[in-house]
Structure 1
Amino acid sequence: MAPRDRHRRTTALTALAAVALAVPVSAGCGAVEKALDCAQLAIEISNDVDNLQDALTGAAVDPQEADKILDSLETDIDKVGDRTDNADVSKAIDDLQKAVDNVQKSVDSGKDPDLTPVRDAAGELTNVCSP
């Protein structure tokens, strides 16, 4: 695992722990569950992005694996979008969706996709899902 990947995963896990500790008990179970859902899905999306990068780099680019991972990423994006009414999370989801759509277009046309916008948007989602 590359140091950047470890740092991103550590950051996401730290965000999840921070959400669990920072949401006051008086906020009620619903708010805590919603925050934890957002943080957990942000981690899943971060993992999807790592898997996508692995599928699109290296000696053997695997477009079928990339398509499968893109489908998983789309599903996880939809899950976050369906579970939030937070404007910052919604914007991060929109940015991530646009970046994923661009990667899908590149993969479909046989071009090397730029994953930087996807990584940046996934990082922003992690940030807005933390308190």
Structure 2
Amino acid sequence: MAKTARRRATVALTLTALALGLTAATGCAAVDKALDCVRTADAIATSVDNLQQAVSNVASDPTQASEALDEIEKELGKLGDETDNADLGKAVDDLKEGVGNVRDSIDKGDATPDITPVVDAAKEIGNVCTP
């Protein structure tokens, strides 16, 4: 758990530093993108952690997995509504689709759903947020 919190903090601090650096060096569009990325990176780190936890517990408590997926989808919905960056919005949409696929797998009784699309979409968010 401490490792996860540390990773989230590191990502958030790095992206915050990037946003501050961009403020001094570039125009508002780049700053807006960097701030969107900071918010998104933090939420995505939390979402992926929640998804991994939900998937690891699906056999013992499918209800918990369903509730975790509900929360992730709600969070991703807000992120998609808040960003005005097309690439970032697409990456968030891809992540939502991956979460939906995991939900479908769990609903069909799959005890080990494939979370690869979720991981790939999270990586794409990192790519979009890299200057």
Change (3 A) 1:64 1:48: same
* Larger RCO (alpha carbons 8 Å, 6+ apart): 1
Q: Answer yes or no: is 1:67 the counterpart of 2:101.
A: no
Q: Answer yes or no: is 1:119 the counterpart of 2:119.
A: yes
Change (3 A) 1:21 1:73: same
Q: TM-score w.r.t. structure 2 length?
A: 0.75
Answer yes or no: is the 8 Å Cα contact 2:88–2:125 preserved in 1. Answer: yes
Query: 1:109, 1:60 → 2: CA distance?
Result: 12
Query: 1:117, 1:2 → 2: CA distance?
Result: 25
Answer yes or no: is the 8 Å Cα contact 1:20–1:36 preserved in 2. Answer: yes
Answer yes or no: is the 8 Å Cα contact 1:41–1:76 preserved in 2. Answer: no
User: Which residue is equivalent to 1:48?
Assistant: 47
Deviation of 1:84 (Å): 2.1
Q: Answer yes or no: is 1:86 the counterpart of 2:85.
A: yes
Answer yes or no: is the 8 Å Cα contact 2:34–2:129 preserved in 1. Answer: yes
CA RMSD of aligned residues (A): 2.9
Deviates more, 1:111-120 or 1:14-23: 14-23
The gaps in structure 2 that reach 5 residues or longer are none
Answer yes or no: is the 8 Å Cα contact 2:87–2:128 preserved in 1. Answer: yes
Change (3 A) 1:35 1:61: farther
Change (3 A) 1:2 1:127: farther
Answer yes or no: is the 8 Å Cα contact 2:88–2:128 preserved in 1. Answer: yes
Q: Between Structure 1 and Structure 2, how many residues are aligned?
A: 129
